């Protein structure tokens, strides 16, 4: 579907571009840059970041893109990542204990200039966000800001090196986990159990605590999950068709977790990108019901007239071709996707950039954003999409490309009603199965004008909500 020029009063010719085809989806995608080494959830539970060894940061869901060390020379590879308490910042941790702060994350010190006995392997932030701990492979602990020292295994002889750590929600203790599943609890962090006496098939690579600190999980490189205390077992990647080792896990406040694979794939278990107020269903987390508003429409299959949507049980992986796009293209697109995720309850994961000229259809990333010359005129953009007929007789969206016309002049942000941001919101709406709204105060109106909305309106929001798990599973 197409979108209009930034000039008020022009009439849009919305060429319907539909492609009913069968595009098989490959399993999962690989990230751009180096291997993924760490994952951190936003405390709100509406998204997470993964970090790559070369300093890249890949946001997913509503997690904002706040910068990275990608393309910069690092003294040591990245090994850790932690979110600030409000989810608007994060720290990247190097193997040498060097720390890099983004967003509202503050710098409280590092061991970057020290000579360490053992490399740093992980970190945890305090619940205030005003401090953090690092742990080294020998269990040595380094405390900064308001993080206090409660003990370490630095003086012990460990059977296996330390693989990760988690902070108690009180901030007055922490757990360390070794590669053999041994747990070391310090301060007021209770011991709930360990695999220390079991023979594991694969080493433990990370751990995370439940939100109330009455339990914890740890994960092995084969995707095996070990749950203790009140930590529920919500599934594991052990035996799943993974394309590389699992490198870490992050908890969702609802009791689920995400596992991160070195290849860049992520595996959600019992999680949702939706913040508080969501209702868990077997088809996903349904966000709070938006204000009733009928100013929305649906894309329809010309063969049977039926609407179409994505299966809410799948995570929609997406990529961005930055060629020809505004400088902050990742910020523009991720903001749009994050909003759509929060409103609809659909889950998204950002897979990084791609080159649509070299590979128009990266396997495993069915949602693609690109800037292309669609010709001068009134067309601001277009969304192409593909769907299949499910065994249950529904139309399931399986791939979509959002095209932004480089021949149209759009503000490179969300600054007015005719910007790259609002155009991406509009075409993303089509890519999620929304049609045009007759109401000019909605983003899904066929005409984009400088006096138009700068974000999804109430009709857009109600429409998107109906395209997510609120509509049930897609069978």
Question: Which parts of this chain interact with Zn ion (CB under 5 A)?
Answer: 1, 3
By beta-carbon proximity to Zn ion, the closer residue of 1 and 121 is 1
- Which structure tokens are listed for 89? 């910042």
Residue 399: closest CA among 18, 23, 16: 23
Residue 29: closest CA among 334, 212, 265: 265
CA torsion 155-160-161-165 (nearest 10°) is -90
**CB 328 to Zn ion: min, Å:** 23
By beta-carbon proximity to Zn ion, the closer residue of 81 and 308 is 308
* Burial bucket for residue 231 (CB in 10 Å: 0-12, 13-18, 19+): buried
User: CA triplet 220, 267, 425: central angle to 5 degrees?
Assistant: 150
CB distance 187 to 150 below 8 Å: yes
Closest residue to Zn ion, judged by C-beta, is: 1
d(CA 420, CA 59): 20
**CB 430 to Zn ion: min, Å:** 6
**CB 1 to Zn ion: min, Å:** 4
- Which structure tokens are listed for 96? 């040498």
**CB 14 to Zn ion: min, Å:** 5
Helix (H) or strand (E) holding 73: none
**CB 11 to Zn ion: min, Å:** 13
Q: At what angle do helices 458-465 and 420-431 cross, to 10 degrees?
A: 30
By beta-carbon proximity to Zn ion, the closer residue of 252 and 430 is 430
**CB 398 to Zn ion: min, Å:** 20
**CB 165 to Zn ion: min, Å:** 49
CB distance 229 to 205 below 8 Å: no
**CB 383 to Zn ion: min, Å:** 7
By beta-carbon proximity to Zn ion, the closer residue of 265 and 337 is 337
By beta-carbon proximity to Zn ion, the closer residue of 3 and 252 is 3
Residue count of the chain, please give it: 475
By beta-carbon proximity to Zn ion, the closer residue of 1 and 136 is 1
* Burial bucket for residue 11 (CB in 10 Å: 0-12, 13-18, 19+): exposed
d(CA 9, CA 217): 58
By beta-carbon proximity to Zn ion, the closer residue of 225 and 443 is 443
By beta-carbon proximity to Zn ion, the closer residue of 15 and 201 is 15
């Amino acid at each position: 579907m197409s979108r209009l020029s930034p000039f008020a009063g022009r009439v849009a010719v919305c060429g319907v571009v539909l492609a009913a085809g069968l595009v098989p989806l490959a399993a999962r995608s690989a990230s751009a840059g180096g291997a993924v080494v760490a994952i951190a959830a936003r405390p709100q539970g509406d998204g997470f970041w993964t970090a790559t060894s070369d300093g890249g940061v890949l946001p997913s869901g509503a997690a904002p893109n706040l910068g990275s060390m990608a393309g910069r020379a690092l003294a040591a590879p990245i090994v850790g990542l932690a979110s600030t308490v409000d989810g608007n910042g994060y720290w990247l941790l190097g193997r040498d204990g060097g720390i890099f702060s983004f967003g509202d994350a503050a710098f409280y010190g590092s061991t970057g200039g020290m000579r360490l006995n053992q490399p740093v392997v992980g970190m945890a932030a305090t619940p205030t966000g005003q401090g953090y701990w690092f742990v080294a492979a020998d269990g040595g602990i380094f405390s900064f800001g308001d993080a206090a020292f409660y003990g370490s295994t630095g003086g012990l002889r460990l059977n296996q090196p330390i693989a990760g750590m988690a902070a108690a929600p009180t901030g007055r203790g922490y757990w360390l986990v070794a590669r053999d599943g041994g747990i070391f609890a310090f301060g007021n962090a209770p011991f709930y159990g360990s695999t220390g006496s079991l023979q594991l098939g694969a080493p433990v690579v990370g751990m995370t605590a439940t939100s109330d600190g009455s339990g914890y999980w740890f994960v092995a490189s084969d995707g095996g999950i070990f749950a203790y205390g009140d930590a529920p077992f919500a599934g594991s990647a052990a035996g799943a068709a993974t394309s590389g080792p699992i490198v870490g896990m992050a908890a969702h406040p609802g009791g689920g977790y995400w596992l991160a694979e070195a290849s860049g794939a992520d595996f959600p278990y019992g999680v949702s990108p939706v913040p508080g107020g969501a209702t868990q269903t077997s088809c996903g987390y349904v966000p709070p019901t938006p204000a009733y508003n009928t100013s929305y429409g649906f894309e329809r299959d010309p063969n049977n007239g039926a609407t179409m949507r994505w299966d809410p049980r799948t995570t929609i992986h997406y990529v961005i071709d930055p060629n020809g796009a505004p400088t902050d293209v990742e910020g523009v697109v991720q903001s749009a996707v994050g909003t759509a995720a929060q409103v609809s309850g659909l889950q998204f994961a950002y897979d990084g950039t791609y080159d649509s000229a070299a590979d128009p259809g990266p396997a495993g990333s069915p949602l693609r954003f690109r800037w292309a010359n669609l010709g001068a005129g009134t067309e601001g953009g277009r969304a192409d999409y593909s769907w299949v007929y499910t065994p249950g007789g529904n139309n399931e969206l399986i791939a979509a490309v959002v095209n932004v016309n480089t021949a149209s002049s759009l503000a490179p942000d969300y600054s007015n009603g005719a910007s790259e941001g609002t155009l991406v919101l509009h075409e993303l709406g089509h890519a999620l199965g929304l049609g045009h709204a007759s109401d000019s105060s909605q983003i899904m109106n066929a005409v984009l004008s400088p006096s138009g909305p700068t974000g999804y309106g109430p009709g857009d929001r109600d429409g998107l909500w109906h395209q997510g798990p609120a509509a049930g599973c897609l069978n």
